[in-house]
Amino acid sequence: MSVPTRPKAAYFGAGPALLPTSVLQQASIDLITYLSNPVGVGEISHRSKDAINIIDSTKAHLSEILNIPDTHEVFFLQGGGTTGFSSVATNLLASFAAKTGKKGQPAYAITGTWSKKSYEEAARLGLEPQVATNGINSKFTGIAPVDQWKKLDPETTPYIYYCDNETVNGVEFHAPPVEATCDGKIPLVSDMSSNFLSKKIDVSKFGLIFAGAQKNVGIAGITIYIIRKDLIPQVGTEELNKLNIPITPIAFHYPTVVKNNSAYNTIPIFTVHVLNLVLKNLLANGGLAAQEKENVEKAQLLYGVLDKHPQLFNLPVAKDSRSKMNVVFTINGEGKEEEFVKKAGEQELSGLKGHRSVGGIRASIYNAIDLETVGKLTKFIEEFASA
Protein backbone atom coordinates (compact mmCIF):
# COMPACT_ATOMS: atom_id res chain seq x y z
CA MET A 1 0.00 0.00 0.00
CA SER A 2 1.43 3.38 -1.01
CA VAL A 3 1.74 5.95 1.76
CA PRO A 4 -0.05 9.25 1.06
CA THR A 5 2.08 12.40 1.18
CA ARG A 6 1.46 16.14 1.39
CA PRO A 7 3.52 19.33 1.15
CA LYS A 8 4.81 20.67 4.45
CA ALA A 9 2.03 22.80 5.92
CA ALA A 10 2.50 26.17 7.64
CA TYR A 11 -0.89 26.08 9.32
CA PHE A 12 -1.24 28.10 12.52
CA GLY A 13 -4.89 27.30 13.31
CA ALA A 14 -5.90 27.12 16.96
CA GLY A 15 -7.68 23.79 16.72
CA PRO A 16 -8.32 21.37 15.29
CA ALA A 17 -4.66 21.85 14.63
CA LEU A 18 -1.70 20.52 12.69
CA LEU A 19 -0.42 17.00 13.42
CA PRO A 20 2.87 15.38 12.40
CA THR A 21 2.62 14.10 8.83
CA SER A 22 4.19 10.78 9.81
CA VAL A 23 1.40 10.25 12.35
CA LEU A 24 -1.27 10.92 9.74
CA GLN A 25 0.43 8.62 7.25
CA GLN A 26 0.38 5.71 9.70
CA ALA A 27 -3.18 6.55 10.76
CA SER A 28 -4.33 6.52 7.13
CA ILE A 29 -2.95 3.01 6.68
CA ASP A 30 -4.50 1.79 9.92
CA LEU A 31 -7.85 3.29 8.96
CA ILE A 32 -8.02 0.89 6.01
CA THR A 33 -6.69 -2.26 7.71
CA TYR A 34 -5.40 -2.59 11.25
CA LEU A 35 -2.93 -5.35 12.20
CA SER A 36 -4.45 -8.74 11.28
CA ASN A 37 -8.00 -7.38 11.01
CA PRO A 38 -9.75 -7.38 7.62
CA VAL A 39 -11.09 -3.93 8.56
CA GLY A 40 -9.64 -0.67 9.82
CA VAL A 41 -9.04 0.61 13.33
CA GLY A 42 -12.16 2.78 13.15
CA GLU A 43 -14.30 -0.29 12.52
CA ILE A 44 -13.16 -2.76 15.17
CA SER A 45 -15.24 -3.33 18.30
CA HIS A 46 -14.36 -1.00 21.17
CA ARG A 47 -14.28 -4.07 23.43
CA SER A 48 -12.11 -6.22 21.16
CA LYS A 49 -8.63 -7.27 22.23
CA ASP A 50 -7.00 -4.90 19.74
CA ALA A 51 -9.12 -1.95 20.91
CA ILE A 52 -8.37 -2.59 24.57
CA ASN A 53 -4.67 -2.84 23.67
CA ILE A 54 -4.90 0.62 22.07
CA ILE A 55 -6.48 2.06 25.22
CA ASP A 56 -3.91 0.40 27.50
CA SER A 57 -0.99 1.37 25.28
CA THR A 58 -2.13 4.99 25.12
CA LYS A 59 -2.46 5.14 28.89
CA ALA A 60 0.99 3.59 29.30
CA HIS A 61 2.60 6.09 26.93
CA LEU A 62 0.92 8.99 28.73
CA SER A 63 2.20 7.66 32.05
CA GLU A 64 5.71 7.34 30.63
CA ILE A 65 5.81 10.82 29.10
CA LEU A 66 4.35 12.60 32.14
CA ASN A 67 5.81 10.29 34.80
CA ILE A 68 2.31 9.88 36.21
CA PRO A 69 2.49 8.51 39.78
CA ASP A 70 0.54 5.48 41.00
CA THR A 71 -1.69 7.86 42.96
CA HIS A 72 -3.38 8.90 39.68
CA GLU A 73 -5.57 7.20 37.07
CA VAL A 74 -5.81 7.93 33.33
CA PHE A 75 -9.07 7.63 31.41
CA PHE A 76 -10.76 9.00 28.28
CA LEU A 77 -14.16 10.55 27.61
CA GLN A 78 -15.88 11.40 24.37
CA GLY A 79 -16.22 15.09 23.58
CA GLY A 80 -13.84 18.00 24.03
CA GLY A 81 -12.85 20.34 26.81
CA THR A 82 -16.39 21.71 27.05
CA THR A 83 -17.55 18.27 28.22
CA GLY A 84 -15.13 18.68 31.08
CA PHE A 85 -16.76 21.91 32.25
CA SER A 86 -19.81 20.03 33.49
CA SER A 87 -18.30 16.61 34.19
CA VAL A 88 -15.60 18.05 36.46
CA ALA A 89 -18.16 20.01 38.45
CA THR A 90 -20.68 17.23 39.07
CA ASN A 91 -18.16 14.44 39.63
CA LEU A 92 -15.92 16.34 42.02
CA LEU A 93 -18.82 17.66 44.07
CA ALA A 94 -20.08 14.07 44.41
CA SER A 95 -16.57 13.07 45.51
CA PHE A 96 -16.40 15.92 48.03
CA ALA A 97 -19.78 14.86 49.40
CA ALA A 98 -18.46 11.31 49.89
CA LYS A 99 -15.62 12.66 52.03
CA THR A 100 -17.39 15.42 53.96
CA GLY A 101 -21.14 14.95 53.66
CA LYS A 102 -21.29 18.50 52.26
CA LYS A 103 -22.08 19.98 48.87
CA GLY A 104 -19.26 22.49 48.98
CA GLN A 105 -18.66 25.53 46.80
CA PRO A 106 -16.06 25.12 44.03
CA ALA A 107 -13.64 27.94 43.20
CA TYR A 108 -12.65 29.20 39.76
CA ALA A 109 -9.75 31.33 38.54
CA ILE A 110 -11.25 33.31 35.68
CA THR A 111 -8.33 34.35 33.47
CA GLY A 112 -9.80 34.12 29.96
CA THR A 113 -12.61 32.95 27.73
CA TRP A 114 -12.50 29.24 28.55
CA SER A 115 -12.18 29.48 32.32
CA LYS A 116 -15.05 31.99 32.24
CA LYS A 117 -17.18 29.53 30.27
CA SER A 118 -16.37 26.77 32.75
CA TYR A 119 -17.34 29.02 35.67
CA GLU A 120 -20.59 29.89 33.90
CA GLU A 121 -21.37 26.21 33.40
CA ALA A 122 -20.88 25.50 37.10
CA ALA A 123 -23.21 28.41 37.87
CA ARG A 124 -25.76 27.14 35.34
CA LEU A 125 -25.75 23.79 37.14
CA GLY A 126 -26.67 25.56 40.38
CA LEU A 127 -23.32 24.98 42.12
CA GLU A 128 -22.81 28.61 43.23
CA PRO A 129 -19.11 28.72 42.32
CA GLN A 130 -16.69 31.13 44.00
CA VAL A 131 -14.41 33.41 42.02
CA ALA A 132 -10.83 32.83 43.18
CA THR A 133 -9.52 35.54 40.85
CA ASN A 134 -10.67 37.56 37.86
CA GLY A 135 -8.46 38.59 34.97
CA ILE A 136 -6.47 41.76 35.57
CA ASN A 137 -8.96 43.48 33.24
CA SER A 138 -12.06 42.69 31.18
CA LYS A 139 -9.96 41.81 28.14
CA PHE A 140 -7.94 39.16 30.02
CA THR A 141 -4.46 40.46 29.26
CA GLY A 142 -2.71 38.94 32.27
CA ILE A 143 -2.91 36.86 35.44
CA ALA A 144 -2.92 38.35 38.93
CA PRO A 145 -0.27 36.97 41.33
CA VAL A 146 -1.61 34.07 43.37
CA ASP A 147 -1.05 35.92 46.64
CA GLN A 148 -3.75 38.37 45.50
CA TRP A 149 -6.35 35.61 44.99
CA LYS A 150 -9.23 34.95 47.34
CA LYS A 151 -8.28 32.96 50.41
CA LEU A 152 -10.20 29.69 50.19
CA ASP A 153 -11.51 27.45 52.95
CA PRO A 154 -10.54 23.78 52.38
CA GLU A 155 -13.46 22.71 54.58
CA THR A 156 -15.97 24.03 52.06
CA THR A 157 -14.08 24.14 48.73
CA PRO A 158 -14.22 20.87 46.75
CA TYR A 159 -11.65 22.07 44.20
CA ILE A 160 -10.00 25.10 42.64
CA TYR A 161 -10.16 25.23 38.85
CA TYR A 162 -8.01 27.09 36.34
CA CYS A 163 -7.25 26.98 32.61
CA ASP A 164 -3.50 26.58 32.12
CA ASN A 165 -3.52 28.17 28.66
CA GLU A 166 -6.27 30.44 27.37
CA THR A 167 -6.38 29.73 23.62
CA VAL A 168 -8.48 32.77 22.70
CA ASN A 169 -6.68 35.35 24.82
CA GLY A 170 -3.08 34.13 24.54
CA VAL A 171 -2.62 33.92 28.32
CA GLU A 172 -0.71 31.06 29.98
CA PHE A 173 0.27 30.13 33.53
CA HIS A 174 4.03 29.71 33.65
CA ALA A 175 3.66 27.71 36.87
CA PRO A 176 0.57 26.04 38.39
CA PRO A 177 -1.10 28.06 41.17
CA VAL A 178 -0.43 25.49 43.88
CA GLU A 179 -0.23 28.22 46.53
CA ALA A 180 -4.01 28.64 46.20
CA THR A 181 -4.66 25.05 47.33
CA CYS A 182 -4.05 25.61 51.07
CA ASP A 183 -0.97 23.37 51.16
CA GLY A 184 -2.65 20.84 48.89
CA LYS A 185 -5.80 20.51 50.99
CA ILE A 186 -7.92 21.72 48.05
CA PRO A 187 -7.58 19.63 44.86
CA LEU A 188 -6.15 21.62 41.96
CA VAL A 189 -8.03 21.11 38.68
CA SER A 190 -6.60 22.23 35.37
CA ASP A 191 -7.94 22.48 31.83
CA MET A 192 -4.80 21.92 29.73
CA SER A 193 -6.55 21.47 26.40
CA SER A 194 -4.35 23.82 24.41
CA ASN A 195 -0.92 23.26 25.98
CA PHE A 196 -1.09 19.61 27.00
CA LEU A 197 2.28 17.88 26.51
CA SER A 198 3.93 21.12 25.46
CA LYS A 199 6.01 21.26 28.65
CA LYS A 200 6.96 19.23 31.70
CA ILE A 201 4.52 19.22 34.62
CA ASP A 202 4.43 17.60 38.05
CA VAL A 203 1.23 15.55 37.93
CA SER A 204 1.38 14.89 41.67
CA LYS A 205 0.44 18.54 42.31
CA PHE A 206 -2.96 18.09 40.64
CA GLY A 207 -6.22 16.55 41.71
CA LEU A 208 -7.40 16.44 38.10
CA ILE A 209 -6.05 17.39 34.68
CA PHE A 210 -8.14 17.23 31.54
CA ALA A 211 -7.35 18.09 27.93
CA GLY A 212 -9.29 17.97 24.67
CA ALA A 213 -6.96 16.25 22.21
CA GLN A 214 -7.70 18.39 19.16
CA LYS A 215 -5.49 21.33 20.08
CA ASN A 216 -2.07 19.76 20.47
CA VAL A 217 -2.03 15.97 20.63
CA GLY A 218 -4.75 14.48 18.41
CA ILE A 219 -8.01 14.94 16.58
CA ALA A 220 -11.40 16.06 17.85
CA GLY A 221 -13.62 13.61 19.71
CA ILE A 222 -11.66 12.54 22.78
CA THR A 223 -10.64 14.16 26.04
CA ILE A 224 -7.81 12.93 28.26
CA TYR A 225 -8.33 12.86 32.04
CA ILE A 226 -5.75 12.28 34.76
CA ILE A 227 -7.36 12.07 38.19
CA ARG A 228 -6.07 11.43 41.70
CA LYS A 229 -7.51 8.09 42.71
CA ASP A 230 -8.93 9.28 46.02
CA LEU A 231 -11.19 11.67 44.09
CA ILE A 232 -12.95 8.87 42.20
CA PRO A 233 -15.32 7.43 44.88
CA GLN A 234 -18.67 9.26 45.12
CA VAL A 235 -21.91 9.24 47.11
CA GLY A 236 -25.00 7.63 45.60
CA THR A 237 -28.02 9.16 43.94
CA GLU A 238 -30.08 9.48 47.14
CA GLU A 239 -27.40 11.51 48.89
CA LEU A 240 -26.82 13.65 45.79
CA ASN A 241 -30.52 14.51 45.74
CA LYS A 242 -30.45 15.47 49.42
CA LEU A 243 -27.49 17.79 48.87
CA ASN A 244 -28.95 19.22 45.65
CA ILE A 245 -25.94 18.11 43.60
CA PRO A 246 -26.73 17.39 39.92
CA ILE A 247 -26.47 13.72 38.96
CA THR A 248 -23.78 13.05 36.34
CA PRO A 249 -24.95 11.34 33.14
CA ILE A 250 -23.65 7.77 33.19
CA ALA A 251 -21.38 8.18 30.13
CA PHE A 252 -19.47 10.93 32.00
CA HIS A 253 -19.58 9.35 35.47
CA TYR A 254 -15.91 8.99 36.42
CA PRO A 255 -16.22 5.87 38.61
CA THR A 256 -18.13 4.06 35.85
CA VAL A 257 -15.70 5.14 33.12
CA VAL A 258 -12.65 4.14 35.18
CA LYS A 259 -14.18 0.80 36.16
CA ASN A 260 -14.78 0.01 32.48
CA ASN A 261 -11.34 1.16 31.29
CA SER A 262 -12.88 4.02 29.28
CA ALA A 263 -15.03 1.60 27.28
CA TYR A 264 -18.36 1.73 29.14
CA ASN A 265 -19.89 3.06 25.93
CA THR A 266 -18.50 3.13 22.38
CA ILE A 267 -15.24 5.02 22.71
CA PRO A 268 -13.90 6.39 19.37
CA ILE A 269 -10.98 4.00 19.08
CA PHE A 270 -9.56 5.62 15.95
CA THR A 271 -9.29 8.93 17.82
CA VAL A 272 -7.48 7.25 20.73
CA HIS A 273 -5.22 5.47 18.23
CA VAL A 274 -4.20 8.80 16.65
CA LEU A 275 -3.42 10.12 20.14
CA ASN A 276 -1.27 7.05 20.77
CA LEU A 277 0.63 7.59 17.51
CA VAL A 278 1.31 11.20 18.55
CA LEU A 279 2.60 10.00 21.92
CA LYS A 280 4.93 7.47 20.27
CA ASN A 281 6.22 10.19 17.98
CA LEU A 282 6.83 12.50 20.93
CA LEU A 283 8.76 9.81 22.80
CA ALA A 284 10.84 8.99 19.72
CA ASN A 285 11.82 12.66 19.42
CA GLY A 286 13.12 13.08 22.95
CA GLY A 287 9.96 13.38 25.06
CA LEU A 288 8.81 16.48 26.89
CA ALA A 289 12.28 17.85 27.63
CA ALA A 290 13.08 18.16 23.92
CA GLN A 291 9.60 19.37 23.02
CA GLU A 292 9.54 22.04 25.72
CA LYS A 293 12.97 23.32 24.63
CA GLU A 294 11.77 23.70 21.04
CA ASN A 295 8.51 25.34 22.14
CA VAL A 296 10.42 27.93 24.17
CA GLU A 297 12.67 28.68 21.18
CA LYS A 298 9.67 29.05 18.86
CA ALA A 299 7.88 31.44 21.21
CA GLN A 300 11.01 33.53 21.80
CA LEU A 301 11.58 33.83 18.05
CA LEU A 302 8.03 34.90 17.28
CA TYR A 303 7.58 37.30 20.20
CA GLY A 304 11.03 38.71 19.49
CA VAL A 305 10.19 39.82 15.96
CA LEU A 306 6.82 41.25 17.02
CA ASP A 307 8.39 43.20 19.89
CA LYS A 308 10.86 44.75 17.44
CA HIS A 309 8.06 46.68 15.74
CA PRO A 310 5.89 48.21 18.51
CA GLN A 311 4.72 50.98 16.20
CA LEU A 312 2.94 48.38 14.06
CA PHE A 313 2.21 45.36 16.26
CA ASN A 314 0.34 45.59 19.54
CA LEU A 315 0.85 42.66 21.92
CA PRO A 316 -1.88 42.99 24.59
CA VAL A 317 -0.76 40.23 26.98
CA ALA A 318 1.61 41.05 29.85
CA LYS A 319 5.02 39.50 29.25
CA ASP A 320 4.82 37.36 32.39
CA SER A 321 1.55 35.80 31.14
CA ARG A 322 2.27 35.32 27.44
CA SER A 323 1.29 31.97 25.97
CA LYS A 324 3.92 29.83 24.28
CA MET A 325 1.15 28.15 22.28
CA ASN A 326 -1.15 30.96 21.10
CA VAL A 327 0.55 34.23 20.17
CA VAL A 328 -2.04 37.01 19.84
CA PHE A 329 -1.56 40.52 18.51
CA THR A 330 -3.30 43.32 16.67
CA ILE A 331 -1.94 45.48 13.86
CA ASN A 332 -2.20 49.27 13.90
CA GLY A 333 -3.67 50.91 10.82
CA GLU A 334 -6.92 50.69 8.92
CA GLY A 335 -7.16 47.44 6.96
CA LYS A 336 -3.70 46.25 8.05
CA GLU A 337 -4.94 43.02 9.65
CA GLU A 338 -6.88 42.00 6.53
CA GLU A 339 -3.80 42.82 4.44
CA PHE A 340 -1.61 40.75 6.78
CA VAL A 341 -3.84 37.67 6.52
CA LYS A 342 -4.15 38.04 2.72
CA LYS A 343 -0.40 38.42 2.11
CA ALA A 344 0.37 35.60 4.57
CA GLY A 345 -1.96 33.35 2.59
CA GLU A 346 -0.09 34.19 -0.60
CA GLN A 347 3.01 32.76 1.10
CA GLU A 348 1.05 29.68 2.22
CA LEU A 349 0.93 30.81 5.84
CA SER A 350 -2.61 30.02 7.00
CA GLY A 351 -4.82 29.87 10.09
CA LEU A 352 -3.75 33.29 11.38
CA LYS A 353 -7.07 35.08 11.94
CA GLY A 354 -7.84 35.78 15.58
CA HIS A 355 -10.81 34.24 17.38
CA ARG A 356 -14.11 35.71 16.25
CA SER A 357 -14.82 37.05 19.76
CA VAL A 358 -11.66 39.18 19.98
CA GLY A 359 -10.42 39.65 16.42
CA GLY A 360 -6.82 40.50 15.64
CA ILE A 361 -4.20 37.92 14.66
CA ARG A 362 -3.43 34.63 16.40
CA ALA A 363 -0.56 32.30 15.56
CA SER A 364 -0.91 28.94 17.30
CA ILE A 365 2.49 27.27 17.46
CA TYR A 366 1.64 23.86 18.85
CA ASN A 367 4.05 20.92 19.02
CA ALA A 368 3.65 19.94 15.37
CA ILE A 369 4.75 23.42 14.20
CA ASP A 370 8.53 23.18 14.03
CA LEU A 371 11.15 25.91 14.39
CA GLU A 372 11.66 26.14 10.65
CA THR A 373 7.97 26.90 10.10
CA VAL A 374 7.97 29.58 12.79
CA GLY A 375 11.06 30.99 11.08
CA LYS A 376 9.09 31.25 7.84
CA LEU A 377 6.37 33.19 9.65
CA THR A 378 8.83 35.55 11.35
CA LYS A 379 10.53 36.24 8.00
CA PHE A 380 7.15 37.22 6.57
CA ILE A 381 6.44 39.44 9.61
CA GLU A 382 9.76 41.26 9.11
CA GLU A 383 8.97 41.82 5.45
CA PHE A 384 5.44 43.03 6.27
CA ALA A 385 6.78 45.48 8.87
CA SER A 386 9.39 46.82 6.46
CA ALA A 387 7.01 47.32 3.51
Instruction: Check whether 137 has a pLDDT greater than 90.
Output: no
C-alpha distances (whole Å) from 185 to each of 99, 181, 208, 311, 363 are 13, 6, 14, 47, 38
**Number of domains, the chain:** 2
Judgement on whether residues 193 and 93 belong to the same structural domain of the protein: yes
Judgement on whether residues 321 and 247 belong to the same structural domain of the protein: no
Average pLDDT value for residue range 178-206: 98
Q: Residue 11: inside a domain, yes or no?
A: no
Judgement on whether residues 213 and 291 belong to the same structural domain of the protein: no
Each residue's pLDDT tens digit, 263-282: 999 999 999 999 999 999 99
Is there a catalytic annotation at residue 370?
Answer: no
Out of 258, 283, 308, a domain closes at 283
Distance of alpha carbon 163 from alpha carbon 193, whole angstroms: 8
Q: Residue 167: inside a domain, yes or no?
A: yes
Judgement on whether residues 198 and 254 belong to the same structural domain of the protein: yes
Is there a catalytic annotation at residue 200?
Answer: no
Bridge-based pairing of strands 130-133 and 160-163 is unpaired
184 close to 230: Cβ distance less than 8 angstroms = no
Judgement on whether residues 71 and 107 belong to the same structural domain of the protein: yes
Is there a catalytic annotation at residue 191?
Answer: yes
Instruction: Check whether 342 has a pLDDT greater than 70.
Output: yes
DSSP tag of 174: S
Query: Could you tell me the pTM of the whole model?
Result: 0.97
Judgement on whether residues 177 and 257 belong to the same structural domain of the protein: yes
Instruction: Check whether 140 has a pLDDT greater than 70.
Output: yes
What pLDDT, on the 0 to 100 scale, is given for residue 73? 98
The torsion angles phi and psi of 247, rounded to 5 degrees, stand at -80, 130
Q: Which among 63, 59, 72 is positioned nearest to 189, based on CA atoms? A: 72
Query: Containing domain of residue 230, as a range?
Result: 29-283
Q: Which among 14, 30, 94 is positioned nearest to 254, based on CA atoms? A: 94
Question: Exposure string (b/e) for 132-160, b if CB count within 10 Å is 16 or more?
Answer: bbbbbeeebbbbeebeebeebeeebbbbb
How would residue 4 be classed by pLDDT, with cut points 50, 70 and 90? confident
Q: Which among 170, 167, 169, 158 is positioned nearest to 191, based on CA atoms? A: 167
Active-site residue, from 103, 116, 215, 353: 215
Active-site residue, from 30, 116, 191, 298: 191
Active-site residue, from 103, 114, 164, 199: 114
Average pLDDT value for residue range 174-195: 97
- CA count, 13 A, side-chain hemisphere, 58: 29
In the chain, what percentage of residues exceed pLDDT 70?
A: 100
